[in-house]
Amino acid sequence: MSFKSLDELRFEIVSLPSGNEEAAHAAAQRQDTLTKPQGSLGRLEELAIWLARWQGRPLPKLDRIKIVVFAGSHGVTAQGVSAFPAEVTAQMVGNFAAGGAAINQLARTVGAQLEVIPLQVETPTGDFTRTVAMSDAEFLHAVTQGYSAVTNDLDLISLGEMGIGNTTTAAALATALFGGSATQWVGRGTGVDDAGLMRKAVAIENGLARHGDALSDPLRIAAALGGRELAAMLGAALAARKLGIPLLLDGFVTTAAVAPLFKVNPDSLAHAMPGHVSAEAGHRRLLDTLGLNPLLDLGMRLGEGSGAAVAINVLRSAVACHNGMASFAEAGISEK
């Protein structure tokens, strides 16, 4: 799939396949026969049924899991919005390749394949306080790169990112898409002080003022204020839905990246589950706005797909119980 225009992308977002309700129903019926009081495993039961619905099989599996981390550079870092210099993005891509980052350890722990995709990290996007972050063509190219990263042989895909300045970009998207003031969406990101927090808010307000003509269109917002790695995550989320692959989201940046899909089509994230709620200030508010309920709350704010990777363990627990438990009849146990 190669997207040639925003309208073509918009058509794909509103033309989405539904989940497999027969598989979900069969999974729910199975849950009611297992050797436990009905509902006693709480969200683990819901997760097994969610996986069944989007994998299209009553007994879901997690044999092939991929974590994809997209990396991009942001021109808005020129406004002093990060505690780290912009070159750290490329340096961290090298750290991923060397196996030295948190996500390398977590991916190995949960048995997931890790793929890191740098998106022109040597060339920052435009500083959205002065120009568009990306032209329509640049945005669509990044969306296509993300879409192409998803293959149809996966049982689950998890998304993450790396990009100095991208919590400012994420907060800008959230403000433009859902309203409120920039101060309600910005957080400390890499650890900025109060002055840095104010610079982030001012940069966002300046960006919104400059790109006011784009604010009625979620996809134009994503191009004008976003980043390449965020656009790629949008494309990957769309591909996962088209291919019937459950999607695990990471933190604030990942959630903001897919939020334009929701604004175009509120059903577009039904296949997505937030692995965790991060400590970044706007994340819980954004999840609530999207109607998404996170699996974990561990105070994490690293990015890289790290929180979602930890949540894969929860999904494995759900599948193990769903597939491996005996029914009352099989165990010879009297039902209520």
CA dist., res. 36 & res. 126, Å (int): 56
Closest to 197 (Cα-Cα) out of 208, 185, 209, 206: 185
Catalytic residue (choose from 22, 304, 330, 335): 304
Give the CA distances from residue 73 to residues 14, 70, 86, 251, in Å, rounded to whole numbers and listed in that order. 30, 11, 7, 18
Contact between 280 and 187 under an 8 Å Cβ cutoff? The reply is yes
Mapped onto helix, strand or coil, the DSSP state of residue 217 is: coil
- Tokens of residue 106, six digits: 């977590």
Q: List Cβ neighbours of 242 (8 Å cut-off, separation of 6 or more).
A: 1, 12, 16, 17
Mapped onto helix, strand or coil, the DSSP state of residue 61 is: coil
SS (H, E, C) 100-165: CCHHHHHHHHCCCEEEEEECCCCCCCCCCCCCCCCCHHHHHHHHHHHHHCCCCCCCEEEEEEECCC
Active site residue 304: yes
Q: State the catalytic residues.
A: 304
